[in-house]
A = this chain, B = another copy of it.
Amino acid sequence: MVRIKDIAKEAGVSPTTVSNVIHGNTKKVSKANIDKIQRILEKNQYIPSMSALMLAENRSRLIGVLIGEREGKRRSIASDPFTSVILNSLELEIYRQNYYMLFHLANSQEESWKLAATWKVEGLITLGLSSEENLELSEKCQIPLVSIDNYYGEKKVANIGLQDFEGGYAMGKFLAEQGHKNILFLADNDVGVDHERWLGVQKAVEEHGAEGAAAGRRIMPENRELRKAWLEDSLEDLKSRDVLFFASDFYALEAIHFLQDKGVDIPGDVSVAGFDDSPYAEICRPEITTVRQNIMKKGQEAVKRLICLIQEEEFKGQERLPVEVVVRDSVKQKPL
């Protein structure tokens, strides 16, 4: 590996001068030397050593991307097709901003902190951590942190998410306008994101629902096996609804198959809607009517937000990305 010292020797100048040329501080370097040094740099394929840079500048150009793994959660990296897309967009933007991505599956706050400290990571992006975990981590690490898809009452941690309320509202409005009265919203929890979506649905039904329209809600188990049992138990309830609006396409898909196996026609007997517009939504029959989010954009904004935090600049982007209803085949129009 060729070092600045080597270049300097070959050029017959001091390391400082070479360093200056590398960093474009060419005001105090003679034209002749600039050219000569640049040529030698090129020729020898000089690559700066991050270790030395880190030590000297006390910064790493590293951004840590942490994914929390919780057993049985929907947002498990293994089962969620979103994860790879998010990771993709994250790395793309991180690299574009001249940073590097250190990736880790976070098992504990302690571990995450150690990683960040060991590498002097300049900022953290987290996925799949709970609000409390994010807060604790942020306080412990004392470096900028941006979470994705997390909600806080008091908003202590920077977050990039969706216009979930608006998404719930838009779909609720669409369903109401399609003539559905008995709407059931299904999620696996009632905090943050899913809570917002539910509020949106309620508001939409209030404002746009026909005479007698009402929105109900059910919380399903997170665990797959338990959820399966839950669906069995809830069959009659589900069949009695006009439309089932699931908080994710994955759940919608699961339910569609469950119901179809029970002889229920979708959307003939019951309509189904999802949320996310994941690959699952299009790769099933009927194709799922859902709420689309732009995941690439989400990752991009998260990185931009973080960089602003790191450089102590103001973030002018969107913290809540817009969503839109995508009409496919799983919701049918009710005759009036």
A residues adjacent to B (C-beta < 8 A) = 1, 47-52, 54-55, 60, 65, 77-81, 83-85, 87-88, 91-92, 95, 100-105, 114-115, 117-120, 253-254, 257, 260, 279-280, 283-285
Contacts and interface: CB of A to CB of B under 8 A. Distances in A.
A100 B102 contact: yes
A225 to B, nearest CB: 14
12 contacts: A49-B120, A50-B51, A51-B120, A83-B84, A91-B103, A95-B104, A100-B102, A101-B103, A101-B104, A103-B103, A257-B285, A284-B284
Number of this chain's copies in the assembly equals 2
Contact of A54 (B50, B87, B279): B50
Contacts of A254: 283
Residue of A48, A83, A84, A104 contacting most chain B CB atoms (<10 Å): A84
A119 B279 contact: no
Residue of A50, A87, A118 contacting most chain B CB atoms (<10 Å): A50
Given A103-B87, A103-B101, A117 B47 contact: yes
Contact of A51 (B55, B84, B92, B103): B55
A91 to B, nearest CB: 5
Nearest to A101: B103
B105 A102 contact: no
